[in-house]
Amino acid sequence: MPAFENLDTKIEELARDFERDGYAVLENFLTSEEIEAIRNESLRLVREESPKERQQIFGNDYNMKSKYFVDSGDRVSYFFEEKAFDLKTKELVLPVEQSIAKIAHALHHFNPVFKQLSTSQKVQKVFKAIGYKDPRIMQSMIIFKPPFVGGEYFPHQDASYLYTEPLHVAGIWLALDDATRENGCLEFIPKSHKWEVKRRFVRTSGSKDKLLEWVGPTENYDESKFVRAEVKAGGLVVLDGRVVHRSAPNLSNQSRNIYTFHVFDNERATYHKDNWLQPETTDTFTPIYAN
């Protein structure tokens, strides 16, 4: 696949759609060589680096009690699908590459492949087009949605997890496989980026059973308002931290793997001290424009 020649024009269109709807899609953002390199590095991490003794299930109930999760803000940590585990023996029932849910949250800092991708010239152009003065990467994740066991992501606003004052938060989402209705593509409520963020995921003041908690009212969203964003492998989605989105479980036989990272504008906003994610041992908030 050729790198596209009219990238600047496409990014201008992307920025206009983003402003209007709170999210926007740009197909063919990555070349096939770039997709291959990222897929290979993702698989290498799963096969060679995933610590066997710390196979931690990913999911809200598990994350809130887990020091491994709480400490993952400035590390590279591995989380697995609940359905891939035998909960009695605590052994995986599937091969590791079909069981993994997520590698997170500081790949952009520690892994050269993901660092280069996240701070590339193309990514810089996207943030300049949407008006970011000093974008800093707060977190990055490879999200695997393996065939049959890949879990659902319930409707949420990303800024619930990564709050800033005032709110200048955006995410980049890169498809490593075709993301379809069948394997659980993203779904958005267009224009919901105009809504407030009332619910937040924060650190507690040190209860043993619960390290993190949700504060604020639960929201009920109108099912009929969600619009699917199907994207081919190599496509980019940019999303405002306030836009409501979700994705369905993967019940198909095709994987839906993606790389995503979240950014705040360090010039216009301050990262909140009670956000769940805090870099405590290393400053992993990487500037995108310093590259």
Residue number, 158 or 187, with CB nearest to Fe ion: 158
Integer Cα distance of 51 and 68 in angstroms: 12
Tell me how far CA of residue 72 lies from CA of 12, 68, 221, 285, in angstroms. 35, 6, 30, 13
- DSSP secondary structure of 244-291: -EEE----SSS---EEEEEEEETTT-EE-TTBS----SS---EESTT-
Which is it for strands 56-57 and 76-80: parallel, antiparallel or unpaired? parallel
* Residue with smaller CB distance to Fe ion, 81 or 158: 158
Burial class (CB in 10 A: 0-12, 13-18, 19+), 83: middle
In the complex, the smallest distance separating the C-beta of residue 245 from Fe ion, rounded to whole angstroms, is: 6
Using CB under 5 A, which of the segments 43-51, 53-61, 72-80, 154-162 binds Fe ion? 154-162
| 85 vs 189 by CB, closer to Fe ion | 189
Per the CB < 8 A criterion, the answer to whether 276 and 158 are in contact is: no
Stretch in the footprint of Fe ion (CB under 5 A) among 65-73, 104-112, 133-141, 158-166: 158-166
User: Between residues 14 and 159, which has the closer beta carbon with respect to Fe ion?
Assistant: 159
Give the integer Cα–Cα distance in Å for 147 and 209: 33
Number of residues that bind Fe ion (CB under 5 A): 1
Candidate segments 130-138, 152-160, 196-204, 225-233, binder of Fe ion by CB under 5 A: 152-160
Closest distance of CB 59 from Fe ion, Å:
15
CA pseudo-torsion sign 87, 143, 210, 198: negative
H or E element, residue 88: none
Q: Which amino acid is at 67?
A: K
Question: By C-beta, is 21 or 158 nearer to Fe ion?
Answer: 158
Position 158 contacts Fe ion (CB under 5 A): yes
Nearer of residues 158 and 265 to Fe ion, judged by Cβ: 158
Nearest distance in Å: CB 262, Fe ion: 8
**Pattern 121-150, Fe ion, x by CB under 5 A:** ------------------------------
CA triple 75-163-174, angle to 5 deg = 60
Contact between 240 and Fe ion per CB under 5 A? no
Q: Residue 170: which residues within 8 A CB-CB, separation 6 or more?
A: 127, 130, 132, 135, 238, 239, 240, 241, 262, 263
d(CA 10, CA 100): 34
| Residue from 107, 80, 78, 76 nearest 91 by CA | 80
Which is nearer to Fe ion, 85 or 177 (by Cβ)? 177
Shortest reach from residue 48's CB to Fe ion, in Å: 28
In the complex, least distance from residue 261 CB atom to Fe ion, rounded to whole angstroms: 11
Nearest residue (beta carbon) to Fe ion = 158
Stretch that binds Fe ion, among 67-75, 103-111, 156-164, 207-215 (CB under 5 A): 156-164
- Contact status: 187 vs Fe ion (CB under 5 A): no
Interface residue list for Fe ion (CB under 5 A): 158
